Structure 1
Amino acid sequence: MIVQDVIDHLETLAPPTYAEDFDNIGLLVGNKDTKLTGILVTLDTLEAVVDEAIAKNCNLIVSFHPIIFKGLKSLTGKTYVERTVLKAIKNEIAIYAIHTALDNALHGVNSIICDQLGLINKTVLIPQKSTIKKLTTYVPVTNASALRSQLFKAGAGNLGNYDQCSFNTEGTGTYRGNEHSNPVLGRKGEFHEENEVQISVTYNTHFESQLLKTLFKHHPYEEVAYEIITLDNYDQHIGMGMVGELKDKQSATSFLKLVKTKMKASCIKHSEISKPSVKKVAVLGGSGSFAISAAKRAGADILITADLKYHDFFSAENEIILADIGHYESEQYTKNYLVDYLSKKITNFAVVLSTTTTNPVKYL
């Protein structure tokens, strides 16, 4: 296997198209064509993690957080970032970061938290916008069914709990080819009318490349007429955070104690317990103050997240309980999930869970 084989599996789980604009995901260090010796999965890539990869003969580190976040102007070893990158390069170890691509994935970070807390009826808290596109093309009536079927196979036509969705309108197409043309129907230099079907299908952005390859391969015309537009519709399966429900109501205090145990938190900072019991729970792994308003709109009784500042707690306004369990704590199970996922996809290759603790926050 090579590094790219692992990347393909990771980007099927969490397409990079849906990562946040500010993020730096993907292959950060190394060559995608390098032959693999082993895969080490971690939450953060630090010098100690690179040392662990060396010791365990792993030349690919799959990291949740990117070690290179902002641009590097030098590589002199003066910061922990530079020292980590230098050590990885020196020892020919590749580093791939998945970060907000997995945050926004349906079965990603926030789904993992929901499962850890036993939440059911999970939905995305903040659906991502501009991730759905529409392809429209025009094809002779006799070819419409076959082309439509191929577009479905390439990922088009999925809408929520439905697939093979399309809209089709029959009409008359016209064209005239010049002296360099080679028309499939009609003759060059002559005006031609053809009974055609206008096919419109929606698709998720990350399918676009393979969808266009399929269109050009299976469309009968020499020149393919098509249009692509980006829709403002929200995708209910892609986005930040999640909302779920407890099977039964719990007192707010007992639920917070459960969260502390399940998420292995040393402590939980929370706003005033303004609700005697909780049922609907919002979660957002990592820094989640931006999700407070969305959690309120969703009718959540409590928001489980991290990195809340002093004034963020005021914004609870007795409408919701805000609970900060710690950044590392909220994302710690991500590496376990990635190991399980890759182990199922790559059954003949070692996928190793890092045992290096990378949490920089300590408690007395």
Structure 2
Amino acid sequence: MRIQDVINIVEEIAPLPYAEDFDNVGLLVGDKNEKLSGVLVCLDTLEAVVDEAIEKKCNLIVSFHPIIFSGLKKITGKNYVERVVLKAIKNNIAIYAIHTALDNSFVGVNAKICEVLGLENKKVLIPQENTIKKLLTFVPKKNAETLREALFEVGAGSIGNYDHCSFNINGTGSFKGNDDSNPVIGEKGVTHYEEETQIGITFPKHLERTIVQTLFENHPYEEVAYEITTLENTNQHIGIGMIGELPTPQNPEEFLKFVKERMQTGCIRHSELTDKKVKKVAVLGGSGAFAIPNAIRAGADVYITGDVKYHDFFKAEGRIIIADIGHYESEQFTKNLLVEYLTKKITNFAVVLSVCNTNPVKYL
């Protein structure tokens, strides 16, 4: 295998087009065509993590957080970011970061928190906009089934729990080729009428290049007529944060103690407890104060996240319990998620879980 092969596997569950615009994801350091020796998975790529990769003979580090977030004008080793990049380059180690692409995945960071807390009936808290596209194309009636099946095969036509979804209208198409044309059906210079099927089919935006390529490879016409539009439909399988339900309601104090144990945190900062039992729980790994209004609108009894500031706790207003469990603590199981996934997909190379605790926050 090569490094690019691992990248392809990771991007199956977290396609980069769904990362937030501010983020810096993908291959940050290294050559994607290098042969793979092993994969080390971590939350943050620090010098100690690069040392661990060297020791364990892993030439690819898959990191949740990107070590390079803003531009580097010099790489002289004057700070921890530059030292990591220098050490990785010197030792021919590639660094790949997934960050908000995995945050927005339905099986990503927040799904893992839901799993650890035993939440059921999970849904995306803030669906990402403009993630669904629609293809309209026109094909001879006799070729419609072949084209549809080819598009289904590469991922078009999936809606929630259903696949092979399309809408088809039969009608008559017309065209006349000029002197430079080479029509598959009809003759150049003569208007031709053909019984055609209009195929309408939706697809996730990260598949657009594949969908168009498949369309051209399986369409019989010399010139393919098609339209691609972006839909405003809500996509409940791509977006940040999640909300789920506890199997059995708990009183607030019991639930927070349960969260502290399950999420292995030394401290939970929270707003004033309410007097109702906890059933619906919203979660958002990392810095999630911005989503407090979304959690309230979704009817959550408790909102679990990190990096909540003093004034943000006032937004609870007795309608919700805001629980700050810590940035690292809310994301710590992400590397376990990635190791479990990669181990199933890659059986002939070592996929190693980093043992480095990269949490910069300490508790007395």
Same fold (TM over 0.5): yes
Does the CA contact (< 8 Å) of 1:64 and 1:335 recur in 2? yes
Counterpart in 2 of 1:218? 218
Counterpart mapping for 1:256-335 below 5 A: 256-335=256-335
> Partners of 2:275 and 2:202 in 1: how far apart?
42
Once the 2 structures are TM-superposed, how far is the Cα of residue 275 of structure 1 from its aligned partner?
Answer: 3.2
Partner deviation per Cα, 1:193-248 (whole Å, 9 max, x = no partner): 11111111000011111111110011010110100000011110000000000001
> Partners of 2:163 and 2:344 in 1: how far apart?
26
Counterpart in 1 of 2:362? 362
Counterpart in 2 of 1:65? 65
> Partners of 1:60 and 1:158 in 2: how far apart?
33
Counterpart in 1 of 2:209? 209
Does the CA contact (< 8 Å) of 1:138 and 1:196 recur in 2? yes
Does the CA contact (< 8 Å) of 1:241 and 1:283 recur in 2? yes
Counterpart in 2 of 1:112? 112
Counterpart in 2 of 1:146? 146
Q: Structure 1 length normalisation: TM-score? A: 0.99
> Partners of 1:287 and 1:332 in 2: how far apart?
13
Higher mean C-alpha displacement, 65-74 vs 149-158:
149-158
Size of the aligned set, in residue pairs, is 364
Matched, 1:178 2:178: yes
> Partners of 1:13 and 1:263 in 2: how far apart?
23
> Partners of 2:262 and 2:275 in 1: how far apart?
21
Counterpart in 2 of 1:123? 123
Does the CA contact (< 8 Å) of 1:177 and 1:190 recur in 2? yes
Give 4+ residue runs of structure 1 displaced > 6 Å after superposition: none
> Partners of 1:115 and 1:246 in 2: how far apart?
11
Once the 2 structures are TM-superposed, how far is the Cα of residue 29 of structure 1 from its aligned partner?
Answer: 0.2
Counterpart in 2 of 1:80? 80
Once the 2 structures are TM-superposed, how far is the Cα of residue 311 of structure 1 from its aligned partner?
Answer: 0.5
What fraction of aligned residue pairs are identical, expressed as a percent? 67
Once the 2 structures are TM-superposed, how far is the Cα of residue 149 of structure 1 from its aligned partner?
Answer: 1.3
Q: Structure 2 length normalisation: TM-score? A: 0.99
Partner deviation per Cα, 1:168-203 (whole Å, 9 max, x = no partner): 112211111111111011101111111111111000
- Root mean square deviation of aligned Cα: 0.7
Aligned AA for 1:102?
Answer: L
Once the 2 structures are TM-superposed, how far is the Cα of residue 276 of structure 1 from its aligned partner?
Answer: 3.4
Does the CA contact (< 8 Å) of 1:275 and 1:321 recur in 2? no
> Partners of 1:80 and 1:61 in 2: how far apart?
17
Once the 2 structures are TM-superposed, how far is the Cα of residue 26 of structure 1 from its aligned partner?
Answer: 0.4
Partner deviation per Cα, 1:82-123 (whole Å, 9 max, x = no partner): 111111011110000010000000100000000100111111
Counterpart mapping for 1:37-52 below 5 A: 37-52=37-52
> Partners of 1:86 and 1:234 in 2: how far apart?
43
Structure 2: gaps spanning 5 or more residues:
none
Partner deviation per Cα, 1:14-39 (whole Å, 9 max, x = no partner): 01110100000000000000111111
Does the CA contact (< 8 Å) of 1:275 and 1:320 recur in 2? no
> Partners of 2:331 and 2:205 in 1: how far apart?
26
